[in-house]
């Protein structure tokens, strides 16, 4: 079976140092030629990168010829401040927002709404939708979010976000295709018609990714942990990552998925290699080669 070439999108985080800025521009220089549907820029946990996110979004929007989605969270901000940020995006021509409740700052026990802020992602989506200025994406959790009672609670909550005005959901990363398919089926059964884009994490560093997974509720199957133990021992971690990530994406495409969202962690190589394996290669115009 010949698989269709997927639409891809890439997530970056805003740089916090000069060196990190160069790394991000290098990452963009590698991945922007793959003609992504959009790229997105995260908003640091606890709202810590508010200004950096804002600057990075505007700079990418103005210089790279790609659609940019700005992440926005409810953490530690009044409604007025949050809507002022979204308004300045609209004025700059940025019309995609990834609307999230957000993670609390490091060390905090859990999410505590600002007294004058949005109390949940649903409230944020509602307010953004009311402006009529944005295409709104939200987070989704194929393996239950740590605060959710079970998978159905995540499906029900996603339904509330879609009913409030979200048009797209981007999932947390996962390592087994069956997790995504189970979630997609449950969403369909709940009447969710918004597009659900799988979030794909190419593994640059297994030890780091294990840490992310334990914090966000992503399941690590035993076979995967064993495979990385052997690959790290043999100095083949990157090779394993490319092969497994390309296989995961291929299985998703075989199941009818058309869009893939890559968590790049501002390191372009693995994402570029996986995209190449899926047939997503740099688009070179005739003017550039003639």
Residues that bind ligand FAD (CB under 6 A): 42-43, 45, 71, 73, 98, 100-103, 120-121, 139, 141, 145, 147-148, 153-154, 157, 170, 172, 199
The CA-atom distances, in angstroms, between 25 and each of 19, 28, 39, 89, 275 are: 10, 5, 13, 21, 19
Secondary structure of residue 256 in the 3-state scheme: coil
User: Toward ligand FAD, which CB reaches closer, 98 or 127?
Assistant: 98
Write the CB contacts of 104 (distance below 8 Å, at least 6 apart in sequence): 45, 46, 75, 110, 111, 112
Write down the least CB distance from residue 286 to ligand FAD, Å.
36
Distance separating alpha carbons of residues 169 and 137, to the nearest angstrom: 5
Write down the least CB distance from residue 171 to ligand FAD, Å.
6
168 close to 194: Cβ distance less than 8 angstroms = yes
Write down the least CB distance from residue 72 to ligand FAD, Å.
8
Distance separating alpha carbons of residues 186 and 177, to the nearest angstrom: 14
User: Toward ligand FAD, which CB reaches closer, 31 or 100?
Assistant: 100
Distance separating alpha carbons of residues 28 and 272, to the nearest angstrom: 11
Q: What is the DSSP string of 112-154?
A: ---TTS-SSHHHHHHHHHHHT--EEEEEE-SS--TTSSSHHHH
How big is the CA angle at 42 (ends 38 and 43), to the nearest 5 degrees? 140
Write down the least CB distance from residue 284 to ligand FAD, Å.
30
User: Toward ligand FAD, which CB reaches closer, 74 or 231?
Assistant: 74
124 close to 134: Cβ distance less than 8 angstroms = no
Reference 217, options 109, 145, 141; nearest CA is: 145
- Which residue(s) pair with 261 in the sheet? 9, 199
Mind telling me the catalytic residues? 11
User: Toward ligand FAD, which CB reaches closer, 148 or 232?
Assistant: 148
Q: Which two tokens stand for residue 12?
A: 């970056």
Write down the least CB distance from residue 58 to ligand FAD, Å.
16
DSSP 200: E
Secondary structure of residue 279 in the 3-state scheme: coil
User: Toward ligand FAD, which CB reaches closer, 3 or 108?
Assistant: 108
Write down the least CB distance from residue 123 to ligand FAD, Å.
9
Residue nearest to ligand FAD (CB): 139
């Amino acid at each position: 079976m010949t698989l269709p070439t997927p639409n891809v999108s890439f997530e970056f985080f805003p740089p916090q140092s000069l060196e990190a800025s160069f790394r991000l521009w290098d990452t963009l220089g590698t991945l922007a030629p793959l003609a992504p549907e959009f790229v997105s820029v995260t908003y640091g946990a606890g709202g810590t990168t508010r200004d950096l996110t804002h600057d990075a979004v505007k700079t990418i929007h103005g210089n790279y010829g790609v659609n940019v989605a700005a992440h926005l969270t409810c953490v530690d901000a009044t409604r007025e401040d949050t809507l002022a940020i979204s308004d300045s995006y609209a004025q700059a021509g940025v019309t995609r927002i990834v609307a999230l409740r957000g993670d609390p700052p490091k060390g905090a026990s859990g999410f505590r709404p600002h007294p004058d802020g949005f109390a949940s992602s649903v409230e944020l989506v509602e307010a953004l939708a009311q402006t009529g200025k944005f295409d709104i994406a939200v987070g989704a959790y194929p393996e239950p979010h740590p605060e959710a009672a079970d998978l159905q609670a995540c499906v029900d909550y996603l339904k509330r976000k879609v009913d409030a005005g979200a048009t797209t959901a981007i999932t947390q990363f996962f390592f087994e295709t069956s997790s995504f398919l189970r979630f997609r089926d449950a969403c369909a059964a709940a009447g969710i018609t918004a597009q659900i884009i799988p979030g794909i994490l190419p593994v640059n560093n297994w030890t780091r990714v294990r840490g992310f997974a334990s914090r966000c509720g992503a399941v690590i199957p035993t076979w995967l942990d064993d495979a990385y133990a052997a690959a790290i021992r043999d100095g083949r971690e990157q090779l394993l990552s490319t092969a497994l990530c390309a296989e995961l994406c291929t299985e998703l495409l075989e199941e009818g998925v058309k869009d893939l969202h890559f968590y790049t962690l501002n390191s372009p190589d693995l994402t570029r290699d996986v995209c190449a394996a899926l047939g997503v290669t740099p688009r070179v115009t005739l003017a550039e080669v003639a």
